[in-house]
Amino acid sequence: MKPQPKLNLLYSRQQIAETVDRLAAELNRDYPGKHPVLIGVLKGSFMFLADLIRLLDFTLEVDFVRLSSYGAGQKSSGKIRVVADLQRSVKDRDVLVVEDIVDTGLTTGFLLAHLRKQKPSSLKLCTLTEKPSRRKTPVAIDYLGFTVPDKFIVGYGLDWDERFRNLPGIYVLEE
Ligand code: IMP
DSSP 56-70: --S--EEEEEEEEEE
Cβ(44) to ligand 1 under 6 A?
A: yes
Number of separate domains in the chain: 1
CA distance 46 to 169: 14
pTM of the predicted model as reported, rounded to 2 decimal places: 0.94
Does residue 163 lie in a domain region? no
The catalytically annotated residue of 103, 150, 159, 161 is 103
Q: Tens digit of pLDDT per residue, the chain (175 long)?
A: 667 899 999 999 999 999 999 999 999 999 999 999 999 999 999 999 999 999 999 999 999 999 986 554 555 556 899 999 898 999 999 999 999 999 999 999 999 999 999 999 999 999 999 999 989 999 999 999 999 999 999 999 999 999 999 999 999 999 7
Domain of 65 in residue numbering reads as 14-150
Atom of ligand 1 nearest to the CA of 152: 19
Cβ(158) to ligand 1 under 6 A?
A: yes
**How many angstroms separate the Cα of 77 from the Cα of each of 13, 69, 71, 104, 121?**
31, 6, 7, 11, 32
103 is catalytic: yes
CATH number of the domain that residue 75 is part of: 3.40.50.2020
